[in-house]
Copies of this chain bind each other. A is one copy, B any other.
Amino acid sequence: MSVVQAASSLQLCRIMRPDDANIVGNVHGGTILKMIEEAGCIVGTRHCNTQDGDRCMAALVRVEKTEFLFPVFIGEVAHVTAEITYTSTHSLEVQVQVMSENILTGVKKLANKAALWYVPCSLKNVDKIMDVPPIKYASADQEELGRKRYGAQKMERQETKARIEDVVPPPPNPGQHTVGFSQSSLIHLVGPSDCTIHNYVHGGVTMKLMDEVAGIVAARHCRTNIVTASVEAINFHRKIIKGCVVTVTGRLTFASNKSMEIEVFVDASSLMEAGKEKYRAVSAFFTYISLDKANKALPVPPLKIDGEEEKRRFEEGNARYLQSKAKRLAEKERQE
């Protein structure tokens, strides 16, 4: 009995349970994101330790835009396949694919595809970034494509670093369908099970909390069964350590007639160290859609905009929406 598995790839799977899903049975996008990141972390950490020098952990720094192609349901088996697809001197890209399998009917569906970027941090000194051993490419073309993805994400990461801004508390008595009405926050005390062995929070745990808040915002706005449709690229600006309290806040930025865009902020603060200020660790845009009982898309109530700031964010959201739409159409045409 032997399933050969290369050092730079990995397969994991798990049955989806009631706690992984909402009350209608749709597995949360956050559950999927957490599994994807677990696979990426294993394959990345394993690869970076295939050389001499300090032992290290692969720390998640970025997830590329991710689309949820097919819903996964309770009782199905989610198969996650991860493979290292590019290495630079100090970072590596892992591409991950999630297949859902209904073991009663045998039907398999591609639920998700994602690309994650990791950097190896020394276990002795977490601020020291280690070198990444190079992988072998099947062709020069493949390497070249990887180099392009690397360059593109690097540029984007630098841009987004500046975009950090404060979350304004909602107005005291916001009307229905306004931004303030559905804005939501949760706090979570980081425990040992949330962490890697060097006591930093797994990126997947953070993404699961973000998806939970985004889901609450979406459900408050449209009061129906809602599911994650996609996530814009997420940059992990700062690490979060065990013993911190994280505050995760979500607010609507944009709504089309069939989708909602929710901006989610993750702020971390130490309970113990009064001097250390709260800091923005991650931020991202989640897109949700609303479904009826037959899993068909429902119309979304229009978002009531108030003030210059909300208007600006709405327009930026609209631009992202139009860009995504154009990209989807272009891909469809290419396939036909």
Contacts and interface: CB of A to CB of B under 8 A. Distances in A.
Interface of A: 1-5, 9-15, 17-19, 22-23, 38, 41-42, 45-46, 49-51, 55-56, 74-75, 77, 81, 83, 95, 97, 101, 103-106, 123, 169, 172, 184-189, 191-193, 196-197, 212-213, 215-216, 219-220, 223-225, 242-243, 245, 271-274
A187 B189 contact: no
A197 B242 contact: yes
Contacts of A19: 17-19, 191-193
A55 B272 contact: yes
A14 B1 contact: no
Given A5-B11, A55-B105, A103-B42, A272 B193 contact: no
Contact of A189 (B38, B51, B74, B224): B38
A137 to B, nearest CB: 13
Contacts of A81: 1-3
7 contacts: A17-B193, A19-B193, A49-B106, A55-B105, A105-B223, A186-B188, A193-B193
A1 B9 contact: yes
A273 B104 contact: no
Closest 6 pairs between A and B when the two form their complex, measured CB to CB: A75-B197, A18-B192, A219-B271, A18-B18, A192-B192, A23-B75
Contacts of A187: 10-12, 42, 184-186, 213, 216
Number of copies of this chain that the complex holds = 3
A272 B223 contact: yes
Contact of A49 (B188, B215, B274): B274
Contacts of A18: 17-19, 191-193
B192 A191 contact: yes
Contact of A38 (B14, B42, B49, B106): B14
Contacts of A11: 3, 5, 11-13, 185, 187
Contact of A83 (B1, B13, B42, B75): B1
